[in-house]
Amino acid sequence: MLNDLPSPKSIERRAFLRAGLLGLGGLNLARLAAAREASVDTSVILLYLHGGPSQLETYDLKPDAPIEYRSVFAPISTNIAGMDICEHFPLQAKLADKFSLVRSLNHDVGIHSDGGIIVLTGKRPTVLDPTSQSKSEHPDLGAVVSHMRGFGQNAIPPSVAIPQKPYMTRPTYLGAHHGAFEINNPHANNYRPPQISLAPGTDTKIFEERHRLMKMFDRYRTGLDASGAMNSVDRFHDLAFDMLTSPQAAAAFDLSREEESLRDRYGRHLWGQGCLLARRLAEAGVGVTTLYINTPENGQEFTNWDDHIMNAGRPGHFGDYMKVRLPYLDQALSALIEDVFARDLDRRIMVVVMGEFGRTPRLSHNANGTGRDHWPQAYSALISGGGMRMGQVVGSTNSKAEYPTDRPYSPQDLLATIYRHLRISPDHTFLDFAGRPIAILPSGSPIRELV
């Protein structure tokens, strides 16, 4: 199809890029334009708590259960009657009217990578890998949104990851150029916006000439490439060029434009500055911003929520790490929710907090310490904004948080809710590597209490 387009010399370069994106994307011009028009004002900020946060130590505490089941923390009341949450979430407790909890999520795969694949793509892996080294066979939420939207105005990327992408998902048959743009740690001393506008007086012709030469070499290499992989490389170069020369894109990533008091409120740490940056990006037009963040702990920035191994050698001390981790989440998340609502962005922006599964209701005691193991049969998620119904608890689990007893929902249902907000049809199909049409979601319906 690219051969039928005018040459780059006869049309404006940005228009050629956008036309080129149509050639291999599986959408015709009218459908792509309609998809962008419908979804351009909506955005999702996903706080992905990798490792599996315990439902009993966050949003479903069960204080009346036997001691070997109940949360090691006390529940506290929120500003919504009957909605109790963990004592280490005092800031969220003041904002319960601005979020809803889903306590009845469940699936059946208790493996980190495979569980992550299910909740991020909506599709079950063909072969489960107990070592948690599996990679997705289908694109995740961010890649789908990237494909459906493409780059926004002013070269704003459709999908961003802070500070890194989830390791278990890939864009797969949508093309590598639909992978999320990684931002690294926005709280680091050496953090600079990855897309920096050209300094005043810089001759843009130098960049354009270098870009033209690079394109010439890429076209030659593409002619030798039978797999089509170079098409993604070509697009990466085009998109990177757009972002480099876009002052609007640079501004979206620049946290120094925020007031110091607001940065303090979010928290001067990876969680806080990551959430603040996510809000800026969503406001600028990024479709999906994924915060794949682990908490600072003992000087280490990357420690996840895998709590059955994080208490090794400390019998009776389950929860010590949670006491460190939960306040980071509470400060950053509460500031994000308040900020989104204060700016009247709560219909445009949806905030989702979830992991790949929950934790075993019964505490286990062994040589590795005291903790909870993997438990996909019941887990919780928090949803804020998105024009959804706030201030409610959706679904419930039994007295020990073992299984849903009311309104059970699947990961596909939660994804369907997110796609509804983004105005993307879960029935839309892409062609996989074998040329077979694959629906965005194989099942699932939006959570009706929310919509």
412-441 pLDDT per residue, tens: 999 999 999 999 999 999 999 999 999 999
Give me the chain's average pLDDT, please.
Answer: 83
C-alpha 281/C-alpha 252 separation (Å) is 6
* Residue 73 identity: F
C-alpha 177/C-alpha 224 separation (Å) is 19
For 297-330, how does the pLDDT look when each residue is reduced to its tens digit (9 = 90+)?
555 555 688 877 544 444 445 667 788 889 999 9
**CA 355, 360, 361, 365 torsion: positive or negative?**
negative
- The SS3 of residue 102 is strand
Environment class of residue 154 by beta-carbon count within 10 Å: exposed (0-12), middle (13-18) or buried (19+)? middle
Q: Indicate the pTM of the whole model.
A: 0.83
Alpha carbon of 310 to those of 52, 73, 116, 129, 326: distances in Å? Answer: 12, 17, 20, 22, 15
C-alpha 51/C-alpha 293 separation (Å) is 11
| Contacts of 264 by beta carbon, 8 Å cutoff, 6+ apart | none
C-alpha 40/C-alpha 285 separation (Å) is 7
C-alpha 26/C-alpha 322 separation (Å) is 45
For 18-75, how does the pLDDT look when each residue is reduced to its tens digit (9 = 90+)?
333 333 333 444 444 444 444 468 999 999 999 999 999 999 999 999 999 999 999 9
Write out the two tokens for 216: 């010439």
Q: Taking 80 as the threshold, does the pLDDT of residue 233 lie above it?
A: no
Q: Which of 30, 428, 435, 15 is nearest to 228 (CA)?
A: 435
Write out the two tokens for 92: 């969220």
